[in-house]
Structure 1
Amino acid sequence: MRKAGKPLDQLTLPDLAPVDHYHARGFQATVELADRLTIGPDDHILDIGCGLGGPARYFAIRFGCKVSGIDITPPFVDAARKLTALLHLESQVEIAQGDGQHLPYAGGVFDGALTQHVTMNVADRPGFFREAYRILKPGAFFALTEHGMGPNANPHYPAPWSLDGGGSFLATPSESRVFLDAVGFRDIVVENTGEKYLAAYKQGMALAASGAMPALGIHMLAGERGAEKMRNAARNIEEGRTQPVQVICRKPA
């Protein structure tokens, strides 16, 4: 942050946006998802797999709502809490450590839930969706973004969600729709976002090739093989091996 000229005692939401939305397409994808949702200041939203907490903090500031975030990775939870404190958002944003397949919340308490690029690593997808359904109030929304399995399957690795295919559990968009419907979700809208993600990956590849990557960005978290992951992610989309999608549905009222 200091290298980017951002004093820690004067941080703003835009200062952190390049790095704290740790999913494909970063901050822009979070904004586009939020644009599709209706959220009021009295609502309580859950971010499942919240990472560094960027989306949770963005939703809290944009809608004036309360947001709970949960992530299975302790270092992410620690960082998310510290960043939330630096932005003085502790009264609106609460971050907890836990498993999205076994959510530590009572049933029917949230007005909406989202999960961004988490389900690719979830072995029991129906169980994950059942937990999301359980904690939602009647009429609440559930929104997710993910890399779905494409018609040609067999993705190239390493990819952003797996180094060698281990822990990768992709489902086709149609399979995800079937799982959501079986759990009880309705008004399921699946949007193909492949072209947007391909353009973003190519832009990142061009910046990396020119040595113009910014001081702050999610590339900081991608590891030594980050560039290779990005190239394979683009290639997978181009070759029909993966299919990025955005899905929004509702628990019946």
Structure 2
Amino acid sequence: MTTAVAEHWASGDVYGRIVTALHAAGKSLDALTIEDLAPVDHFHARGLPATIELGDSLPAKAGDHLLDVGCGLGGPARYFARRFGCRVSGIDVTGPFIDAGRRLTELLGMGAVVDLRQGDGQALPYGDGTFDGGYAQHVTMNVPDRPSFFGEAWRVIRPGGFFAITEHGRGNAGPTYHPVPWSEDGRGEFLVTPEETVELLGAAGFVDIDVTDTGQDDLQRYRATLALAERGELPALGLHVLMGPGAAEKWRNSARNIEEGRTHPVRVICRKPG
């Protein structure tokens, strides 16, 4: 993935912005919890509720080693490490996210079970069969080479392991309205239909590919968050801390894209034979 994609997601002192927002929300760094961070720590559609739903669908278990591709700040990695009693390695192209995520991981005392590093999901720096499973939450919209992305996931997951993604798939009703969270103007956006995603996962070698439509759930969350923004009632801590002053317009367009069938949000679970 390109430098432009990384710079779209974040630049500057992300950790500092989060700390400022935590203080404004009355949260102490000396007693920080995963729950305290949750409003800003799950940078994808529906945030923590979507991470919880994904976890409900994963066959992960204690002692597993999981891969989080496009880990952002590491919120899902930390959540799954605690929920399942496993280790999670996260990778993301965006340097400021990794810097902030490492510091937050240390504040939470989770450095022994969560490892975050900067890198590209199209060329993973891990050996074959390293992981018991992997996932990518709202990452593939920015992936130009999906065959390589899915092929790398297949390579580093052990036989019998699982792989899951959530994404805004391309709809059939015309081009996407911009800006949206993953692209300001269409640059760096590489949407494919859910059907094409299934074909590409199958071509990479994955089987038992199960697709769940999440569009209405995502739409309701966009509408609710947008309503808060329009009333000037957004809390001190939330994804707008990362998205900046254009957050409301991005949420508005995201909702409109789903409503008009321009995007098709889905959750996909599959496995590597073995």
Show the counterpart of 1:232. 253
Counting aligned pairs with the same residue, the percent is: 60
Give 2:87's match in structure 1, choosing from 62, 66, 88: 66
Separation of aligned partners in 2, 1:93 and 1:182: 31
Structure 2 residue corresponding to 1:51, chosen from 72, 77, 97: 72
Picking from 174, 177, 191, the partner of 2:212 is: 191
CA distance in 1, matches of 2:96, 2:231: 31
Alignment of 1:68-147 (within 5 A): 68-147=89-168
How much does 1:224 deviate? Answer: 2.2
Structure 2: runs of 5+ lacking an equivalent: 1-21
DSSP-derived class of the 2:24 partner: coil
SS of corresponding position for 2:23:
coil
Deviation at 1:42, TM superposition (A): 1.2
Q: Deviations over 1:98-117 (max 9, x none)?
A: 11100000011100000000
Q: Does 1:40 align with 2:61?
A: yes
Give the aligned partner of residue 212 of structure 1: 233
CA RMSD of aligned residues (A): 0.6
Asked if 1:203 corresponds to 2:203, the answer is: no
Matching residue's letter, 1:44: H
Deviations 1:40-81 (A, max 9, x none): 111000000000000000000001100000111110000000
Counterpart-to-counterpart distance in 2, 1:62 and 1:232: 33
Map 1:148-159 onto structure 2 (within 5 A).
Answer: 148-159=169-180
Q: Which runs of 5+ in 1 are unaligned?
A: none
CA distance in 2, matches of 1:236, 1:75: 29
Matched residue SS, 1:90 = coil
Q: SS where residue 245 of structure 2 aligns?
A: coil
- Give the letter aligned to residue 219 of structure 1: H
- Structure 1 residue ranges, 4+ long, deviating more than 2 angstroms after superposition: none
> Do structure 1's residue 176 and structure 2's residue 215 form an aligned pair?
no
Equivalent residue in structure 2 for 1:17, among 34, 38, 52 = 38
Partners in 1 of 2:56 and 2:270 — Cα distance?
14
Aligned position for 2:264 = 243
Q: Distance in 2 between matches of 1:250 and 1:40?
A: 15
- C-alpha displacement at 1:153, in angstroms? 3.0
Q: Match for residue 50 of structure 2?
A: 29
**d(CA) in 2 for partners of 1:36 and 1:70?**
22
Distance 1:88 1:100 in 2: 26
Deviation sequence 1:193-249 (CA, Å, 0-9, x none): 000000000001110111110111111111221111110000000000000000000
TM-score by length of 1: 0.99
